[in-house]
A and B are shown apart, each in its own frame.
Chain A
Amino acid sequence: RKEVEQDPGPFNVPEGATVAFNCTYSNSASQSFFWYRQDCRKEPKLLMSVYSSGNEDGRFTAQLNRASQYISLLIRDSKLSDSATYLCVVILISSGSARQLTFGSGTQLTVLP
């Protein structure tokens, strides 16, 4: 079983739609949680951190449920520029105390005009 699993996608949605991505993680010792965005042939970029209390950044809302080991990302009023791959990320403290980012395989979103 993969340590971080995401919806396989792809998601093709019209402009203005609301879309939700889900992610589960297997290691209960995971310490920090993030969503990254990766454009085609580019590096991943931090979109937002995820907290148990939930957090919102404009049209984006992220939620963490530690009991269920579940992370979500909601995008409201989708824009063409939201088209990208969204990566769910957890941080584990590996042997040697390295803070290791563990990525899901990503979910591809295409927003259609």
Chain B
Amino acid sequence: ETGVTQSPTHLIKTRGQQVTLRCSSQSGHNTVSWYQQALGQGPQFIFQYYREEENGRGNFPPRFSGLQFPNYSSELNVNALELDDSALYLCASSNRQGPSYEQYFGPGTRLTVT
């Protein structure tokens, strides 16, 4: 196991609602990245947090937002949910000072929007 945890495991929401997903990073890691994985696709980069600030973002609209806390845990918030937001949401923790840039994934939160 990677030591990265996510909650909840599964979630069902209605279109237009808001959702918050949570991630606890592996001990010793200071960076958290979030990814969206639609069925049959590879994960897509949403954004990355380091030192409680967003320091990179993929091609996702502003209704996807996040936070990182002093203990390096993180939240992903999605407003005004759309049907296409149904996906597996993965967080990955890493150490920015690490030499190999390896990222370790949590088990994911499976979000279904109806």
A100 touches B58 (CB 8 A): yes
What is the interface size of chain B, counting residues whose CB is below 8 A from a CB of the partner? Answer: 31
B33 touches A101 (CB 8 A): yes
Q: Which of B55-69 contact A (CB under 8 A)?
A: 55-58
Q: How would you classify the secondary structure of chain B's contact residues: helix, strand, loop or mixed?
A: strand
A13-21, A38-46, A53-61, A67-75 - interface stretch: A38-46
CB distance from A34 to the nearest CB of B (A): 8
Bound-complex Cα distance A97 to B104 (A):
19
In the complex with contacts A43-B108, A45-B105, A105-B40, A97-B35 CB distance below 8 A: no
Q: Which of A34, A99, A103, A105 has the most CB of B within 10 A?
A: A99
Query: Looking across the interface, which residue of chain A has its beta carbon closest to that of B35?
Result: A101
Give every chain A residue within 8 A of B45 (Cβ-Cβ): 94, 100-102
In the complex with contacts A43-B90, A45-B105, A103-B56 CB distance below 8 A: no
Give every chain A residue within 8 A of B43 (Cβ-Cβ): 44, 87, 101, 103
Bound-complex Cα distance A4 to B2 (A):
25
B56 touches A106 (CB 8 A): no
Q: What are 20 of the A-B contact pairs (CB < 8 Å)? A: A32-B101, A42-B107, A46-B102, A49-B100, A49-B102, A87-B43, A94-B48, A96-B56, A98-B47, A98-B55, A98-B57, A99-B101, A99-B103, A100-B56, A101-B35, A101-B92, A103-B42, A105-B41, A105-B42, A106-B41
